[in-house]
Structure 1
Amino acid sequence: MIAIWGLTGLKASMAVSRPNPISRIRELSSSGKWLELFSHYNELRRTGLQVTDPWVLSSIFKASSRISPSLVRSFQACVIKLGLASSSSVANSALDFYFKCKDCGSAMTVFRSMESRDSISWNILIHGLLDMGDWEEGLQWFKNARAAEFEPNVSTLVLVIQACRRDGVNFERLAFHGYVVKSGFQFIMSVKNSLLGMYADTDMRRAKQLFDEMPERDVIAWSVIIGGYVNSEEPQIGLTIFRKMVSEGHTHPDEVTLVSVLKACASVGDLMLGMAVHGFLACQGLDADIFVINSMIDMYFKCRDVSSAIAIFGMLPGKNLVSWNSMLSGLVLNEEYWEALLVFRAMAEEGVKFDEVTLVNILQACKFYEDPARCKSVHGVAIRQGYEGNELLLNCLIDAYGKCSHVNYAWKLFDRLKKMRDTVSWSALIGGLARSGKPDDALSLFDKMIRAGEEPNGITMVNLLEACASSAEVKRSKSAHGIAIRRGLADEVAVGTAILDMYSKSGTIIPSRRVFDRIPCRNIITWSAMIAGYGMNGLAQEALALLAKLRDQGLKPNAVTALSVLSACSHGGLVEEGISLVKSMIQEDGLNLGPEHYACVADMLARAGKLDGAIDLIESIPLRLKPGASAWSAIMNGCRTFMNAEISKMIIPRVLELEPFCSGSYMLTSGILAASRMWGEAARVRKLGKERGVKVVAGYSLVHVENRAYRFLAGDETHEFAGEIRRVARQLHSSLRFHGEYDKLMGTGCYG
């Protein structure tokens, strides 16, 4: 007689003499003794018994998967041979195993072979596909399951909502929300929070509506809505909701909430609120989380409190790579480039492995110092660590090489990119060529970019306009202006500002002003550029009038505006007006003057012949604001103009010490000494420059003839008009000598 235990071939006598095999399997399965369970199963097989109970087979499937994947495949083959694979519970076990092994092909084979599918089958299928990141396929099978009247569990439903949040996924979110409501899942907190997160990614209006309709809100709901507003660039609303959360007092913010709040503080630059959040974190004991600490470092840097950010970083016991990168990016943001290089060195000394973000940040410091050696070093690290294929890093290297006057290296990198080239790559190289004095190559590359089908953006146009500005050809500038208009980029503030700056540098101030008047939304940079344009074209009074108009518009001049105004006053000889404006900007606008402003004031005084006043100004300002070589060079120019050899001899050592590798300093110094008939001293200065390997950059003149700019280098005999120029120059010199005007001009400094 056969006992009905789900076993075949078992003799009745064994039921009396042995314990129930199914009970034993259940016991081993519940205690997780998978190896014993599988051994027991093999023992049953050796006695000629065949297991047919679906629950037992599922347990053996589970045991096999815990021991070895090969055992599962072997066991499944046995089940198929016995004709038991169609059992839904057995098939579900196999389906679950294959998805956990990331074997989607085998899982789909099992699923399609099932004669009957239950809710568990559909849940395993959809959950498995979505968990593997196959969003489109998972959502499509979810639609198929709904047609088959499938009822998902909460876990699967949450995964479906997460899939809906993915970029590029085509799914009817509103229809799905309706399905959730009709199915009665909208009252489950995890589902509500997932729906809230789905809307927060794409539609903050619907997200806020759903949030307001929630009768109960946990910390996740508050965090999602605050983070949604912060990420959608509405940080002020996010901060308002945070204040409401705190004032209600029902829910305490956690680390995730506070990270979003710190990000909002950083976005709006609210240092006081950021410090308050820091204090709250400390009181609640939440400031030990590395993620929170990294966010605090970022917040302090973006709120321009560098010392607090450095202090937090210094006290951080377990720094991770994000901590180091936050430190680097914050220092770069605050233009503390030397400190960034020191942090980078400390990373190397502590054995921290760099990533692409680290290298991109350190390249910003290399660009500032125009240090090609450091750029090459970073490039070498990128190659050794296998980051050659990172587009962001390669584009930064192209930009860095261009700004370090190594445009040939930039071009080689650009050539290697080939299929990886994007608008950023083209723009970076165009900018590098423009800054390296190769406007023709920059314009030619722009033409290639257009022919390659690449769409220029605002940065591309700014770089192209810079190239046209350096070429100083009006016809070419108008052509670039036309390109910006046709591409719909001329109305962008940055592009419009670059256009007016281009016209100003080409000496055509009227078109520059027309562009300025047509820019729809002018910012302080646009106003400053126009003021600078008037100044560089000798229209100091117009520059001052525009400054007054700027104030009438309710704007305050910034550091760049102040520099533009001072430069205009300096070139226009308006010393008293310049001094008066500096005082008003300090007292009325709260402007903090930097070394470059003091250098400009010194230049203004020196041009007016007030050399003693210029020296007194420089020596009286605080040490931390001491201007560099540019201020002393300005005074030296004044010495040359007004033939003051005594002051020049006092300043020369300072200039050569501050700029030991600047050719202009040596040329200016030797010129002053030669003009004072100190021939030996002049020769020694030139010799010192040669010994230091200083490369002399030739000066040039730029003359516009029929909308074309002609550049004449000093000493260049190759130009087609060189002979004619020398002949006219000799005639002009002779005429001046004859009328006695030459000595007068030299005395007044008009040739200075």
Structure 2
Amino acid sequence: MSDTTPAAAALNHWNRLIQLAAASGSYADCLHLYSASLLAAGLRGNASTFPSLAKSCAVLRLPGLGRAIHARAFLAGAAVSRDAFVRTSLVDMYAKCGRLPDARRLFDETPRSSRTLVAWNCMVSAYGRSSQVEEAVAMFNAMRRGEVRPSGSTLVGLLSGCADALSARNVGVCLYGYSVKSGLDADVLVSNSVLTMLVRGNQLEAARLLFDHVENKSLVTWSAMASGYLQAKDCVKVFDLFRVMRETEQSMDSVVLVNLTAAAALFGNLLVAKGVHTLVIKGGFQCQDDLVASLVNLYARCGDLLAAKEVFDSVHCKNAVLWTSMLNGYVECGCSDKAMETFDAMLCAKVEPNKATLLAVLSACANLGSLNLGQKVEEHVIAMGLQSDLQVSTGLIDMYCKCGSIQHARKIFESVFNRDIAIWSAMINGYACNGDGSEAVALFREMQNRGVRPDAIVFTHVLTACNHSGLVGEGLNCFHSMTVDYGIKPSIEHYMCMMDLLCRAGHLSSAMKFFMDMPVQLRNQVLAPLISAQRAHGVDSSMGFVSEKLLSLDSQNSDHCVLISNMLSCLGEWKKARNYRRLISKQGLVKKPGWSYIELGA
């Protein structure tokens, strides 16, 4: 058919419209033009038609429609189906839609002479994105054997898989060596990929060396390095990095400011928070959802809930992320009742909660000990189909345990089949908090029998359970197992639990021996239960030793002052005891009163 025929002219017309739609990002319109106009006109399409259609299916993640487009290309004739650009676009479509076997089959069916660099890169990137590093490297090596020179995009695709797969970091380092040897390290995209891989692997010193070596740093380069320092909770280095960035007159974007806001939240200084907020306003980013949510979190972390609420109220159309930030702010500052009010307002505003929202609300219910509210939140969990989510299940278990409904918590626990260590830990802690030490220890044994390795937090919960229930033998066995069988170094929490357990049970000689075996730098922190036990069980020969340690306790703590005064009275040191009582009044120390929460109308 000649290019001058009406059919050819019509096909060229529709091809131009389809290509323009795809180029402008109107992918749905691109597909509609093909089906409703080109096909409706009885035209099959040619090699210029299908790359734009395949790209549209790839972006919209429509593998079923993409397969139909592939079939149409086959029906359009051998010249079309064998065209290198058509095949490459289809390989890319299958790869981006997660249909790797289909992509690989079409790639293998393509003659070697027709395999373009883009097609090779599509396959390498697809394997990299799915963390199939061995397949990606094999494809990379086959590419080199086929005398196709890898590009920067090839290495970026490979390095993306190495960044996510811990076992592939050595491969990533080798690839960086190849990039240096081949001169591809000058490509900032390659440098950014290596930098990201090093940051995710916590190799910050190597990452900083590479960062300093990159000459033409992009915003991604700066953000990747900043995220590494954030990961290490080194907020000072994030601020220092930002200062250097400003000196180079590098422009800012929302990602840079989100990192800076997160660093300020770690710093926890209100003056710094206001300075970062000013930068956000000066940069014109105060209306961006992610930054507003970060600012709300920042002010809440600094303890200024009024400022957090002002930022929150400044946004008219609030999304779920912003509502959740405000909720979390109230929970973290101990205002769980305000968090529940905010959740009600969110529902009234017809904003659908997400998983993070429900986790925050469950924490609020747990803090309030409100079983009635917790049950209502569980209804939302079920309605959203999140009851099988491990994090949500853990939150529900924690909430029900803290609300005293241990049976309901156990029911949820039993319904979870793929239990991780967090959910075991929550249930064990639930029994500990409810005074059922025997059940906590039994569940701990079951966890070990199922091959789940306990961590330091689980051991804290088990020791707490033994402490609350007076299970001295189990507590000693547990502490021995933690240090000997699992090689976990005890923290101050573990030592406090053991000291309290031994002292409460009246095993003062064992407590003194345990005290002497502790690291010297931690001894002062466990003196309080030891002194209380000495008072409760009468003065003995060890009192002289304990009295020598009294003055090393924190004199700014009112509880310690009262304890020291009482102990000195027992020792007959009336003058010193009176001085500590005077110290409480002189320094204005006040013991915080306890409080209880009663739910009305539950």
* TM-score where L is the length of structure 1: 0.66
> Match for 1:647 among 541, 545, 549?
549
- Give the whole-Å Cα distance in 2 for the aligned partners of 1:580 and 1:338: 43
Instruction: Label 1:274 to 1:168 Cα distance change in 2 as closer, same or farther (>3 A).
Output: closer
Report the AA paired with residue 577 of structure 2: M
- 1:668 alignment partner, one of 559, 567, 573: 559
Match of 2:451 in 1: 554
User: In 2 relative to 1, CA 269–588 (structure 1 residues): closer, same or farther, beyond 3 Å?
Assistant: farther
What residue is the counterpart of 1:298 in the other structure? 196
Equivalence map 1:682-693=2 (5 Å): 683-684=582-583, 687=586
Contact 1:474 1:707 (8 Å CA) reproduced: no
| Residue matched to 1:220 | 118
Change (3 A) 1:589 1:317: farther
C-alpha deviation, 1:307, in angstroms: 3.2
In structure 1, the partner of 2:421 is 524
Partner in structure 2 of residue 447 of structure 1? 344
**Aligned residue for 1:59?**
none
Q: Does 1:678 align with 2:572?
A: no
Mapping for residues 336-735 of structure 1, pairs under 5 Å: 336-419=234-317, 421-572=318-469, 577-578=474-475, 580-582=477-479, 584-585=481-482, 588-589=485-486, 591=488, 593=489, 597-607=490-500, 608-609=502-503, 610=511, 613-614=514-515, 617-619=518-520, 632-636=524-528, 638-640=530-532, 642=534, 644-652=546-554, 666-675=557-566, 676=568, 677-681=576-580, 683-684=582-583, 687=586, 698-702=592-596
The aligned counterpart of 1:178 is 71
Equivalent residue in structure 2 for 1:269, among 166, 181, 204: 166
Higher relative contact order (CA 8 A, sep 6+): 2
1:132-281 → structure 2 map (5 Å cutoff): 132-141=24-33, 144=37, 157-167=50-60, 172-181=65-74, 182-183=76-77, 184-204=79-99, 205-216=101-112, 217-231=115-129, 234-236=130-132, 238-246=133-141, 249-250=145-146, 251=148, 253-270=150-167, 271-281=169-179
Q: Give how far 1:299 is off.
A: 1.2
The answer on whether the counterparts of 2:327 and 2:357 sit within 8 Å (CA) in structure 1 is yes
Q: Give me the CA root mean square deviation.
A: 3.7
CA, structure 1 residues 506+145, in 2 after alignment: closer, same or farther (shift >3 Å)?
A: closer
Return closer, same or farther for 1:252/1:563 CA change in 2, 3 Å cut-off: farther
- Matched to 1:208, the amino acid is R
2:53–2:69 contact (8 Å) kept in structure 1: no
Distance 1:575 1:316 in 2: 59
Cα 1:466–1:679 change in 2 (3 A) is same
SS at match of 1:323: helix
Residue 535 of structure 1 aligns to which amino acid in structure 2? Answer: A
Query: Counterpart of 2:452 in 1: which secondary structure?
Result: coil
Secondary structure of 1:166's partner? Answer: helix
CA distance 1:551–1:605, change in 2 (3 Å): closer
Seen in structure 2, the aligned counterparts of structure 1 residues 134 and 469 have a Cα distance that, compared at 3 Å, is closer
Report deviation, 1:152: 7.2
Q: Does the CA contact (< 8 Å) of 1:570 and 1:603 recur in 2? A: no
Of all paired residues, the percent bearing the same amino acid is 26
Give matches, 1:55-204, under 5 Å: 125-141=17-33, 144=37, 157-167=50-60, 172-181=65-74, 182-183=76-77, 184-204=79-99
Query: What is the alpha-carbon distance in structure 1 between the residues aligned to residue 213 and residue 412 of structure 2?
Result: 52
Task: State the 1:391 CA deviation.
Answer: 0.7
Equivalent-residue separation in structure 2 for 1:551 and 1:342 (angstroms): 46
Relative distance call for 1:170 and 1:584 in structure 2 (3 A) is closer
Shift of residue 458 of structure 1? 1.8
> Contact 1:402–1:433 at 8 Å: present in 2 too?
yes
Deviation at 1:430, TM superposition (A): 2.0
Contact 1:575 1:604 survives alignment (8 Å)? no
Following superposition, the deviation at residue 235 of structure 1 comes to 1.3
Structure 2 counterpart SS, 1:381: helix
Distance in 2 (alpha carbons) for counterparts of 1:244 and 1:672: 71
Match of 1:700, SS state, is coil
Distance 1:645 1:127, change over 3 A: same
Deviation at 1:390, TM superposition (A): 0.7
Aligned partner letter, 2:201: C
Instruction: Find the aligned partners of 2:190 and 2:162 in 1 and give their Cα distance.
Output: 13
The structural deviation recorded for 1:617 is 2.6
Distance (Å, rounded) in 2 between the aligned partners of 1:599 and 1:141: 68
Query: Structure 1 stretches of 5 or more lacking a match?
Result: 1-87, 90-113, 621-626, 654-664, 691-695, 709-752
CA contact (8 A) 1:670 1:686 kept: no
Structure 1 residue 382, shift from structure 2 partner: 0.8
Provide the rounded CA distance (Å) in 2 between the counterparts of 1:541 and 1:282.
61
Structure 1 residues 444 and 198: CA distance shift in structure 2, 3 A: same
CA distance in 1, matches of 2:248, 2:530: 51
Give 1:650 deviation, angstroms.
1.8
How many Å apart are 1:154 and its aligned residue? 5.5
**In the alignment, residue 262 of structure 2 is paired with which amino acid?**
Q
Distance in structure 1 (CA, Å) of the matches to 2:331 and 2:321: 15
How far does the alpha carbon of each residue in 1:585-611 deviate from its partner, in whole angstroms, 9 at most, with x for none?
4555465x4xxx421133134423536
| Structure 1 position 470, deviation (Å) | 0.9
Task: String of CA shifts for 1:501-531, please: whole Å, max 9, x gaps.
Answer: 1122223333322221122332111111122
Q: Which runs of 5+ in 2 are unaligned?
A: 504-510, 536-545, 569-575
Aligned residue pair count:
564
State the one-letter code of the partner of 1:384: K
Deviation, 1:464, is 1.0
Contact 1:130-1:159 at 8 Å conserved across structures: yes
Deviation at 1:684, TM superposition (A): 4.4
TM-score (norm 2): 0.81
Distance 2:433 2:313 in 1: 38
The residue identity in structure 1 corresponding to 2:80 is F
